[in-house]
Amino acid sequence: MFTVIFCSSQSYSIVIFPITIMLRAIVRRPTLTRSLFNSVAVNRFHSSPVLKNEATPEQLDSPTKKMNLFQAINNAMDIALETDSKAIICGEDVGFGGVFRCTTGLRDKHGAHRVFNTPLCEQGIAGFAIGYAATGGTVIAEMQFADYIFPAFDQIVNEAAKYRYRSGNQFNVGGLTFRSPYGAVGHGALYHSQSPEAYFAHTPGLKVVIPSTPTQAKGLLLAAIRDPNPVVFFEPKWLYRSAVEEVPVGDYMLPLGKARIVKEGSDITVVGYGAQMHVLANAVALAEEKMGISCELIDLCTIAPWDVETVEKSVRKTGRLVVSHEAPKTCGFAAEISAAIQERCFLSLEAPIARVCGYDTPFPLVFEKFYVPDHHKNFEAIKGTMYY
């Protein structure tokens, strides 16, 4: 018994996955998994204080609806399917709504031929998605957890990312978007908590997007789906239900590669992305209350390509920089930000750039609260940078 999935390792190749591989995948996905959690870019391509969103005049004029983050993502995919007849959604359990309910109702509305489950084989999901996109289709492929994306790593970085380049722009897989929930959630431990964004940001040909609010999630996801390059879209699962706000119900996109200044300030620049923005908002509020300083808070939104100009302009004004993310410190994306800003702003810096990140260990279970770079750690980094 075989499952046949088109793949892109060669121009017209087919990968055949025996049922034994599917069974092995099922063994490593115990049922506990289900119950744990209720165009080319420049140089590379063709419960916290409220985070306010920038919006265009058109967005402000449109009706809004209260949505949490997973509902905003669902709404974005619904619009993508309605406006693009070639768009499909595939992945493990997406036909049933997915582990985090992001695809709830989409199969019933758009049909099982457009929203469908796949075998539990990430390499096969990626290979099929690349093959479909290579024919001109639009595919939104879900990796159930970011921790599960590694079996598909070769397909994503060696095939999807290089498809346009290796063909001299004769062929491309620009209609390809990989969605995946990432990061800490309180009880995910080693295999349901990782933040692998830096691996993909290192790969020319891929865009990497990480939203922090429902409004951002919807607008950035629609932009990612319609971007003429393959995009890896990481979703902060901690915010799926906890981040709630009024979201425009219409069809809108937010620009990829453009950071947003969440809060303007004059004494220190604080930079992050994704779920960490809510942690940083608390740290900034604490610093301003305790120290009487003015902090500028920046949400990168996209880390490949990332908006170095906005961060540079801010650091030239403040002279100080703190960067924070959940991923391990060594070779995390904060290292790229630190290096780039040091090169551009050396004579403007009043203190060394501080990185507040996860530790260089596997993600722990019972010690998660000590591992994550919480607002207390970020407050101490802000204080240390200010008093340097």
Peptide bond into 305 cis (omega under 30): yes
Say if residues 289 and 204 touch (Cβ distance below 8 Å).
Answer: no
> Would you tell me how many other CB atoms lie within 10 Å of the CB of residue 5?
20
CB atoms within 10 A of CB 292: 8
- Mean pLDDT score of the chain: 88
Cα 321 vs. chain centroid, distance in angstroms? 23
Q: Which of 39-53, 67-81, 161-175, 235-249 has the weakest average pLDDT?
A: 39-53
Per-residue exposure over 81-118, b if at least 16 CB sit within 10 Å of its own CB, e if not: beeeeebbbbbbbbbebbbbbbbeebbeebeeebbeeb
Helix (H) or strand (E) holding 246: strand 244-248
Q: Which of 59-73, 79-93, 126-140, 247-261 has the lowest mean pLDDT?
A: 59-73
Confidence of residue 58 (pLDDT cuts 50, 70, 90): low
Question: Are 29 and 191 spatial neighbours (Cβ–Cβ below 8 Å)?
Answer: no
CA torsion through residues 240, 243, 244, 249, sign: negative
The residue behind tokens 């019933």 is 108
Tokens linked to 23? 């069974």
Q: Provide the 3-class DSSP secondary structure of residue 170.
A: coil
Model pLDDT, residue 38: 36
Task: Supply the residues annotated as catalytic.
Answer: 122, 192
Length in residues, the chain: 388
pLDDT (0 to 100) of residue 18: 33
What is the DSSP code string of 71-133? Answer: HHHHHHHHHHHHH-TTEEEEETTGGGT-TTSTTTTHHHHH-TTTEEE--S-HHHHHHHHHHHH
- Which residues have C-beta within 8 Å of that of residue 365, sequence separation ≥ 6? 187, 188, 189, 190
Domains assigned to the chain = 2-248 (3.40.50.970), 260-386 (3.40.50.920)
pLDDT at 25 over 80: no
Question: Is residue 211 predicted with pLDDT exceeding 60?
Answer: yes
Q: What is the pLDDT of residue 135?
A: 96
φ, ψ of residue 165 to 5 degrees: the values are -65, -45
Kindly give the pairing relationship between strand 295-299 and strand 321-328.
Answer: unpaired
Position with higher pLDDT, 37 vs 333 = 333
Supply the pLDDT for residue 62.
80
Q: Which pair of tokens denotes residue 305?
A: 């390509």
C-alpha angle 126-131-133 in degrees, rounded to nearest 5: 95
Is the four-CA dihedral 105, 243, 140, 37 of positive or negative sign? negative
Cβ(155)–Cβ(8) under 8 Å? yes
Assign 339 to helix, strand or coil: helix
173-185 pLDDT, tens per residue?
999 999 999 999 8
Given pLDDT bands bounded at 50, 70 and 90, which one contains residue 52?
A: very low
CA 239, CA 342: separation in Å to the nearest integer? 32
66-77 pLDDT tens trace: 999 999 999 999
Q: Rounded CA gap, 181 and 211, in Å?
A: 11
Give how far the C-alpha of residue 202 lies from the chain's centroid of Cα atoms, to the nearest Å: 14
